[in-house]
Amino acid sequence: MNFLDLKAGETVEVGTQQAYRFWRYLFPRHHAPIRLVSWVSNKRWYPRQNVEGTSPDLGEQGLHGYKTIDDMMASLRDEPERLVFRSQISGCDGVVLGTVKMWGIIWDHALGYRAQFARPTSFISSYGNRSEEALTELRALFF
């Protein structure tokens, strides 16, 4: 991270923040590995790599996550299957729910966080085309 982002007198914590989020997944043609894509943008998340988002100090930018799985499920009205149609009209195959660790600049919100950096730490469940296969493949690729 860039230590010039620190503000005078600001406390620096050591560690990462766990959060819950969901992504779109896509099975490319020609048997290429499954792809993980952000929900609101076409930002791709690559296996075993950290992701840097846009600066959380700007508006609503940064990598988003919920504080708890209950916060995430409540925002989905406890029906994550509802996301499948929206993922498919964007050309993806479905949606996957999971956890990330976040660090760098983090803005705490009432129900979640916006962070500068993140990396997936688990995939919990998936919904859509070949969802079980997607979950297995994502876990094998990313961890």
Partner 1 sequence: MAEIGKPERRRVLVPTEEPALPRVTPEPPSQPNLPPIRQPEREPA
Footprint of partner 1 on this chain (CB under 8 A)?
1, 3, 5-6, 10-17, 21-22, 39-40, 56-57, 64-66, 71, 75-76, 101-114
Task: Output 52 or 130, the one with its CB closest to partner 1.
Answer: 52
Task: Output 3 or 31, the one with its CB closest to partner 1.
Answer: 3
| Alpha carbon 58 to its chain's center | 19
Q: How far is the CB of 30 from partner 1 (least distance, A)?
A: 30
DSSP state of 4: G
Task: Output 103 or 141, the one with its CB closest to partner 1.
Answer: 103
Return contacts of 35-42, CB within 8 angstroms, 24+ apart. Answer: 36/96, 36/120, 36/138, 36/142, 37/92, 39/83, 39/95, 40/64
Q: How far is the CB of 29 from partner 1 (least distance, A)?
A: 28
Q: How far is the CB of 82 from partner 1 (least distance, A)?
A: 11
Q: How far is the CB of 31 from partner 1 (least distance, A)?
A: 30
